[in-house]
Copies of this chain bind each other. A is one copy, B any other.
Amino acid sequence: MSEHAATIRRFWQTTEARDWEGLAEVLAPEMVYEMEQTRERVRGRAAFLRFFGEYPGDWHLTVRRVVADEEGGVSVLDFTVGDERLVGISFFTFGDDGLIHRIDDVWPEPYEPPADRVHLTERF
């Protein structure tokens, strides 16, 4: 496993454990967290830890996949809040210090496929 992949796994391990001090250790102080779908942004490690720490509900996550290279990485999560099941995709950008400087989060939702391609696909 690459160093960045290991840092991404530690990011989610500490988050699931609500170990906010451990999580802070992999974050750059000036980090930025963005959700392009909602156009929301959180600036700085302190604000980010508050955002995750106050996230409502009895949520749990498991890491489905991590891909990482020299510059950054991506994780795919299975995320549950009570009975609700979500998929979370996070893009991580690292600095030369090995810390996370930027996270771009995406939460794709189910939708109905267009009718004009039913002859080209099967459903599962």
Please list the residues of chain A having a beta carbon within 8 angstroms of any beta carbon in chain B.
Answer: 2, 5, 34-43, 47, 50-51, 54-56, 65, 67-69, 71-74, 76, 87, 89, 91, 106-113, 116-117, 120-124
Query: Which among B41, B71, B110, B124 is the interface contact of A41 at CB below 8 angstroms?
Result: B124
Per assembly, the copies of the chain total 2
A113-B55 Cα distance, complex, nearest whole Å? 13
Contacts of A110 in B (CB 8 A): 37-39
By beta carbon, the residue of chain B nearest A110 is B37
Query: Which among B37, B65, B89, B116 is the interface contact of A109 at CB below 8 angstroms?
Result: B37
Contacts of A123 in B (CB 8 A): 39-41
* B112:A38 contact, CB within 8 angstroms: yes
By beta carbon, the residue of chain B nearest A76 is B91
Show 14 A/B contacts (Cβ-Cβ < 8 Å), sorted by A: A5-B69, A38-B111, A38-B113, A40-B122, A40-B124, A41-B123, A41-B124, A50-B120, A51-B120, A55-B117, A65-B91, A67-B72, A89-B106, A108-B108
